[in-house]
């Protein structure tokens, strides 16, 4: 009954109701986007790190993986000692470099990863075969388009370009054995992978790697294992998934602060909009409210009906704002995802049902708060005085 009366009151002023719903929808869309932004990149980064099951990464001391061209010497000995630990079930060394492919009068340059094909966690093979032979390599679609090649083709590759002599340090022939999706590469970035021994020979960096990825057994104490690695190998930093997430949080604190401020502003705008509408509506209906009170309708009944009007506006606006928020989030995510060096798997705006429910809950709570004061004030006015004043007017 109360909801029916509330909806009837809203239909009585259709234009005002529609404008209020649209205003709440804009606030809801901004609030949803800010809630998605505050947690989206962290969640997608965590999912990326844990998708291949490696809990630890070892990089040259003082750097993050591939932040610089620094490498770790004595790679074979470190890998052997890591594999001797009973808690460790897989060690994947990775060497990064630049790969040059001469194509007529031009040279195509891409990132190349030296990996161990059977333990790697840097790509997902989509077609063809892993580079299990020394002369094989897997590439992404962007590389195939850039060089105009297909899986199965044999191409010339080189590393270590000398701009003064215009020559390469290492040149070889390689067979494109497969097509892969690289997990940590930026969108549109050319990427390839080959056996780590082949790349070490081509780049003249024997027994060196850029990174180790380490997978531990279920139930192993990852932080204790990380501490042992840093004590055992003084030339490396051991980074656990938790440590990496903390570093990401530190670097992205600006985004979280911005999301919090804009989210609070959008919530406040929605609150003020509903409060204004409810106040105007109540002032227009003082006589009607006084009549209801005069015939025995309780004060709580009046308050509940007016609060339900605000809730109805917020729910309709939130439903519309959910669709609008998802559209704008997709558009903004496309812009931010082009940030240089950012892995394509990272999303700034990641939809989560919890975020949608949180936004809806905050808006409904603000609508309830917005309607309580003006409705209670109107229902508390002296009945006789209010009727006399409304009759004179």
**How do residues 341-381 score in pLDDT, each as one tens digit?**
566 667 777 777 777 777 777 777 877 777 777 777 766 76
* Boundary (domain end) residue, out of 234, 262, 279: 234
Which pLDDT band, with edges at 50, 70 and 90, does 258 fall under? confident
> Facing residues of 237 across strands?
59
In terms of domains, do 295 and 264 share one? Answer: yes
15-30: average pLDDT: 81
Q: Is the pLDDT of residue 220 over 90?
A: no
My answer on whether 218 and 355 are in the same domain is no
Residue 43 lies in a domain: yes
* 11 lies in the same domain as 96: no
Same domain, 41 and 186: no
| Same domain assignment for residues 121 and 206 | yes
Judge whether 241 lies within some domain.
no
Asked whether residue 351 falls in the same domain as residue 319, the answer is yes
Residue pair 251/244 in contact (Cβ under 8 Å)? The answer is no
* pLDDT recorded at residue 381: 61
Residue 55 lies in a domain: no
334 and 304 within one domain: yes
Residue 244 maps to a domain: no
pLDDT at 128: 92
Is residue 337 domain-shared with residue 201, that is, in the same domain?
A: no
Domain boundary among 234, 268, 285: 234
* Assigned domain for 56 exists: no
How much is the pLDDT for 67? 67
Mean pLDDT of 160-164: 63
Residue 239 lies in a domain: no
**Most confident option among 53-62, 65-74, 341-350:** 53-62
Mark whether 105 and 23 lie in a shared domain: no
Domain of 305 in residue numbering reads as 2-48+251-392
Least confident of 15-29, 69-83, 284-298: 284-298
Would you give the distance in Å from CA 350 to the centre of its chain?
Answer: 5
The pLDDT of residue 194 = 94
Confidence of residue 241 (pLDDT cuts 50, 70, 90): confident
Report the predicted TM-score, pTM, of the whole model to 2 decimal places. 0.68
For residues 6 and 89, membership in a common domain is answered with: no
pLDDT for res 192: 94
- Domain check: are 214 and 259 in the same one? no
How many structural domains are present in the chain?
Answer: 2
d(CA 228, CA 220) in angstroms, rounded, equals 13
- pLDDT on residue 143: 93
User: Looking at the predicted structure, is the pLDDT value of residue 1 above 60?
Assistant: no
> Do the domain assignments include residue 212?
yes
Q: What is the pLDDT of residue 337?
A: 67
- Residue 93 sits in the same domain as residue 144: yes
Q: Are 310 and 370 in contact (CB under 8 A)?
A: yes
234, 265, 286 - which closes a domain = 234
Q: What is the pLDDT of residue 195?
A: 93
Q: What is the pLDDT of residue 164?
A: 57
**In the numeric block, which tokens belong to residue 370?**
């917005």
321 inside domain: yes
Q: What is the model's pLDDT at position 114?
A: 92
Kindly tell me if the per-residue pLDDT of 334 is higher than 60: yes
The mean pLDDT value for 221-249 works out to 84
């Amino acid at each position: 009954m109360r909801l029916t009366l509330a909806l009837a009151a809203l239909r009585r002023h259709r234009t005002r109701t529609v404008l209020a719903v649209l205003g709440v929808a804009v606030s809801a869309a901004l609030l949803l986007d800010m809630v998605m932004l505050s947690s989206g990149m962290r969640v997608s980064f965590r999912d990326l790190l844990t998708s291949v099951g490696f809990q630890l990464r070892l990089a040259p001391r003082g750097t993050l993986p591939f932040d610089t061209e620094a490498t770790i010497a004595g790679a074979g000995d470190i890998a052997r000692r890591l594999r001797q630990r009973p808690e460790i079930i897989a060690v994947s060394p990775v060497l990064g470099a630049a790969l040059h492919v001469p194509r007529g009068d031009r040279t195509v340059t891409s990132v190349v990863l030296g990996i161990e094909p059977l333990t790697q966690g840097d790509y997902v093979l989509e077609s063809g075969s892993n580079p299990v032979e020394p002369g094989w390599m897997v590439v992404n679609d962007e590389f195939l388009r850039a060089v105009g090649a297909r899986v199965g083709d044999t191409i010339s590759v080189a590393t270590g370009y000398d701009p003064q002599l215009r020559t390469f340090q290492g040149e070889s022939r390689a067979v494109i054995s497969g097509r892969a999706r690289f997990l940590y590469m930026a969108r549109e970035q050319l990427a390839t992978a080959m056996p780590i021994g082949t790349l070490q020979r081509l780049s003249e960096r024997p027994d060196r790697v850029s990174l180790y990825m380490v997978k531990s057994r279920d139930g192993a104490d990852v932080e204790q294992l990380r501490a042992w690695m840093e004590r055992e190998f003084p030339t490396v930093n051991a980074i656990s998934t938790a440590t990496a997430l903390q570093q990401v949080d530190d670097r992205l604190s600006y985004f979280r602060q911005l999301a919090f401020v804009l989210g609070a502003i959008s919530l406040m705008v929605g609150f003020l909009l509903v409060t204004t509408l409810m106040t105007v509506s109540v002032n227009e209906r003082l006589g009607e409210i006084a009549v209801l009170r005069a015939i025995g309708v309780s004060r709580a009944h009046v308050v509940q009906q007016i609060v339900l009007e605000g809730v109805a506006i917020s729910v309709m606006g939130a439903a519309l704002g959910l669709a609008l928020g998802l559209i704008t989030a997709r558009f903004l995510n496309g812009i931010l995802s082009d940030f240089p060096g950012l892995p394509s798997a990272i999303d700034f705006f990641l939809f989560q049902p919890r975020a949608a429910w949180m936004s809806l809950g905050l808006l409904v709570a603000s609508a309830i708060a917005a309607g309580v004061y003006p409705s209670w004030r109107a229902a508390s006015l002296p009945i006789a005085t209010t009727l006399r004043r409304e009759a004179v007017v």
